[in-house]
Amino acid sequence: MRLEKKVAVITGGSNGIGLACAERFSAEGAKIVIADLLVEPGRAAAKAITDAGGDAMFVELEAANPEANEAMAAAAVERFGTIDVVVTAAGVSNGDYKSGDIEGGLKRMKQAGEAAAVNPAAALTELDIDDWRRVIDVNLTGTLLAIQATASVMLDQKKQGSIITIASIAARDPLWGAPSYPVSKAGVWMLTKNAARTLAPLGVRVNSIGPGFIDTNMTAVIDQVDEYHSVVIGNTPMGRKGKPSEIASVALFLASDDASYVTGELIHPDGGWFTG
Ligand SMILES: NC(=O)c1ccc[n+]([C@@H]2O[C@H](COP(=O)([O-])OP(=O)(O)OC[C@H]3O[C@@H](n4cnc5c(N)ncnc54)[C@H](O)[C@@H]3O)[C@@H](O)[C@H]2O)c1
């Protein structure tokens, strides 16, 4: 029970990595606030956690909206009195991304392949600026807004808090295709370091996790296309995608007092991606 009596707010908690963090943190004694754009799976996840003996609530969140982040923090305080731990897992891989929409993802991947056949630089030179803006808005600005809203509560209450952002191996590796996602994640990394330096003297730690390829809705499309799948697995020395629970266990370490002297770090649970 490493998070007994703690309250954890998890953006993007309806699916994947955020959901795994919610489940693991609850099993370790935390009260959980799941915040997400997707309402039905979020409500179902909160109910499942509560039915299993935990205590969880769902809050609808558009991560890129400042007022929605303020409302999320206020709802956590109203229900549970405080915020001790935050995971910012809400994220998109492209401007059209909808978690669970495999058909849409495949269509987009096919279009990108066709554009690249005509213009090998299309992902850069023909990148739609609204697409770029949406990825930066959700992944980077959304992380900032969640930190602002939740850190304010921690500072007001003089808490020893822990904030965990979700970056990616793409924070340090440009991967392939459009620059939006890697740039957003590189921004999350530097935002994490900046926030860590500002908040360290005030008792709040801020760290980032930079996963490799993890088996969630976000990477489901890759499994459908042999050439992408073999590139991903071929570049992962462990020869497999990670499980969301393998990210949650790193998040648990960073959330807990076991990481009491750790701040401003980016940890890569990536199956060995950065060994080469
Ligand atoms: N899966 C991977 O391989 C991988 C690798 C590195 C980093 N990540 C990052 O991990 C985080 C979680 O992704 P995942 O793989 O679990 O995917 P996922 O699709 O399973 O989960 C993402 C969640 O974020 C929510 N979300 C998306 N846009 C939102 C918005 N505007 N406001 C609120 N919620 C929103 C989705 O509804 C979904 O529940 C993302 O930031 C992603 O970039 C994933």
Of residues 254, 276, 259, 39, the one with CA closest to residue 166: 254
What residues are paired with 267 via a beta bridge? 209
| CA 139 to ligand 1: nearest atom | 41
What is the rounded average pLDDT for all residues in the chain?
97
Alpha carbon nearest to ligand 1 atom 26, residue: 90
Looking at residues 155-177, what average pLDDT do you find? 97
Alpha carbon nearest to ligand 1 atom 7, residue: 168
Query: Band of the pLDDT at 85, cuts 50, 70, 90?
Result: very high
CB 105 within 8 A of CB 220: yes
Domain ranges of the chain: 7-98+131-215+243-268
Quote the pLDDT of residue 236.
Answer: 97
**Which amino acid is located at 206 in the chain?**
V
Q: What are phi and psi of 165, to 5 degrees?
A: -95, 155
Sheet holding 31-36, edge to edge: 56-60, 31-36, 7-11, 85-88, 162-166, 205-209, 266-267
Q: What are phi and psi of 212, to 5 degrees?
A: -80, -150
Please give all residues whose beta carbon lies within 6 A of any atom in ligand 1, as ranges.
Answer: 12, 14-18, 36-38, 61-64, 89-92, 99, 138, 166, 168, 211, 213-214, 216-219
* pLDDT tens column, 239-266: 999 999 999 999 999 999 999 999 999 9
Quote the pLDDT of residue 166.
Answer: 99
Q: Is 181 a catalytic residue?
A: yes
Q: pTM of this prediction?
A: 0.98
Q: From the candidates 97, 181, 228, 261, which is the catalytic residue?
A: 181
Cα dihedral across residues 188, 193, 197, 201: positive or negative: positive
Looking at residues 101-118, what average pLDDT do you find? 95
Alpha carbon nearest to ligand 1 atom 41, residue: 91
Q: Which two tokens stand for residue 129?
A: 């600026």
CB 176 within 8 A of CB 227: no
Q: Could you tell me the distance, in angstroms and rounded to a whole number, from the CA of residue 252 to the centre of ligand 1?
A: 18
In this model, does residue 19 exceed pLDDT 80? yes
Q: Could you tell me the distance, in angstroms and rounded to a whole number, from the CA of residue 226 to the centre of ligand 1?
A: 23
DSSP code at position 165: E
Alpha carbon nearest to ligand 1 atom 11, residue: 89
Pick left, alpha or beta for residue 271 (phi over 0 → left; psi -120 to 50 → alpha; otherwise beta): left
Q: Could you tell me the distance, in angstroms and rounded to a whole number, from the CA of residue 132 to the centre of ligand 1?
A: 16
Q: Could you tell me the distance, in angstroms and rounded to a whole number, from the CA of residue 262 to the centre of ligand 1?
A: 24
CATH of domain 7-98+131-215+243-268: 3.40.50.720
How would you class 78 by CB atoms within 10 Å of its CB: exposed for 0-12, middle for 13-18, buried for 19 or more? exposed
